[in-house]
Amino acid sequence: MTPTPILVSAGEVSGDMYAARLAKALQQRANVSLFGLGGTHMHEAGVELVADNSEVAVVGISEVFQRLPVLRRAMRRLVFEAERRKPPLAVLVDFPGFHLRLARKLRRRGIRNVYFVCPQFWAWRPWRARLVRRRFAQALCIFPFEEEFYRDAGVRVQFIGHPLVGEVKAGASREEFFRAHHLDHAIPLVTLLPGSRPGELRHHLPVLAEACRLLHHERPIQFVVAAAPGMDMIEWGASLSKKVAIEIVAGATYDALAAADVAVVSSGTATIETALLDTPMVVVYRLSRVTAFVAKPLVRTPFFAMVNLVAGRQVVPELIQKDFTPQRLASEVSHLLDSAAARDEMRRGLAMARARLGPPGAVERAAEIIARMI
C-alpha cells in the first residue's frame, strides 16, 4: 500500500524537536511518508526536508525584514511540494508568522491543517486566533490555559499536555558532572542559558559576562554556559573569558542545569526545561529596540516567563529589556545563592507549575488525534 504523504513544518529548534518525536509516533500508527520544513531532528526521524529551518529561524521584527527573501523561498518550496504530492493533511508547529500564511495557501488547495503547539496569541495580538479558526481543522495546545482561550475564539482545540513532561532528565549526577568538567564541589555553580539565535547571543552575552564578573568579584563562584545544539560559541567564548573564567559545555544542557545551584535562563522553552529539573532560576531577555518598541503595546500578559504564566503568579524573577542589567542580574543571583529559604519558596512554585503541564505522553496523544484524521 502506498504511504500517505503528510506535510510537517517546524521553523524553530524547539519545534524541530517536537515534530521529530511526533514523526516517529505517527510512523508507528499510520502508513505515512513525511516531508516538509525542519532541521536535524526531523531529518533523523525520517522526514524528507524540502526546506531547512536554519534558513528561516528569526527573532524580532527587524530580523524578519532582513530574511524575507529566504522565508519566501521556503514558502514556495513547501507549496510546490504540497501541490505535487497532494497530502490530505499538514501538521504545522508554532512559528505563526510563517505558518498562518502557509496554512492559508494549503487550505486553498484542499489540504486540512493541524496546529501542533498553538501560537501564544493569548500573549499578544489575540485577534489572530480567528485566523486559526478559519485555516485549521484542529489545534493542539500544550499549556492548560490555552484551551479556553482558543475555544472562546471558535477554534476546534484540545489540550494535550506539554511534550517535555517526562522527557527532561539529567543523564549525569551533580557529582559526575562536576568531575567531568573539573569543577570544585565547594564552590557554587551558576549555569547560563543565553539562547541559541544569533540575535539573542548578541543582546544577552555582553550583559551576562559583566554580571559574571560582578558576581565573581563578590565571592568564589563557577560559571558554565550550556551551548544549544549547533550554536557556535568559539567567538563568544573568547569574549566571555575576558571577563571571568567560564566553562562552555556542549551537548549536556540538562546535566548543566540539574547540577547548578542557580541558573540564568533566556526566556522561552528553556524556562520549562529548567522548571522540570527543579533548578532555581532568573529569567532574562532583551530584544532589539525596534522590536521592543513595536511589540510593547501588543503584549497582553502580566508575566513574560512561561513558568510564571503557567503558575499564575511570579515564581521566578524576570529581567526583561531595560531591567536586564549586569547589576540587577548579579543581585538576583546573589539573593538566591545566599538564601535557602528563597530557593525553597521558588521550588514550591516550580512544583505548582509542573503539576499544571499535564502528564507524560503529550506527543503520543497528539499522534493519536492526527492519525485518526488521516
Span 238-266, pLDDT tens digits? 556 566 788 899 989 999 999 999 999 99
The dihedral built from the CA positions of residue 101, 154, 10 and 274, taken in this order, carries a sign that is positive
Q: Which residues of 148-177 are buried (b: 16+ CB within 10 A; e: fewer)?
A: ebbbebebebebbbbbbbbebebebebeeb
Give pLDDT tens digits for 42-86: 999 999 999 998 877 654 444 555 667 888 999 999 999 999 999
| Same domain for 161 and 184 | no
| Same domain for 223 and 81 | no
| Same domain for 142 and 204 | no
Nearest to 267 by CA among 207, 330, 316, 209: 316
Question: How would you classify the pairing of strands 157-159 and 138-141?
Answer: parallel
| Same domain for 348 and 363 | no
| Same domain for 335 and 206 | yes
Phi, then psi, of 242 in degrees rounded to 5: -70, -25
| Same domain for 235 and 109 | no
CATH number at 286 reads 3.40.50.2000
Distance CA 240, CA 315 (A): 29
| Same domain for 179 and 98 | no
| Same domain for 189 and 62 | no
Q: What is the pLDDT along the chain (374 residues), one digit of tens a residue?
A: 899 999 999 998 889 999 999 999 999 999 999 999 999 999 999 999 999 988 776 544 445 556 678 889 999 999 999 999 999 999 999 999 999 999 999 999 999 999 999 998 987 788 999 999 999 999 999 999 999 999 999 999 999 999 999 999 999 999 999 999 999 999 999 999 998 777 788 888 999 999 999 999 999 999 999 987 666 655 555 556 566 788 899 989 999 999 999 999 999 889 999 999 999 999 999 875 544 444 454 455 678 899 999 999 999 999 998 999 999 999 999 999 999 999 999 999 999 999 999 999 999 999 999 999 99
Domain that holds residue 28: 4-165+358-373
Measured in whole angstroms, how far is the alpha carbon of residue 43 from the centre of its chain?
A: 19
Q: Tell me how many helices (H) and strands (E) the chain has.
A: 17, 13
| Same domain for 325 and 261 | yes
| Same domain for 368 and 333 | no
Question: Domains in the chain: how many in total?
Answer: 2
| Same domain for 362 and 342 | no
| Same domain for 349 and 363 | no
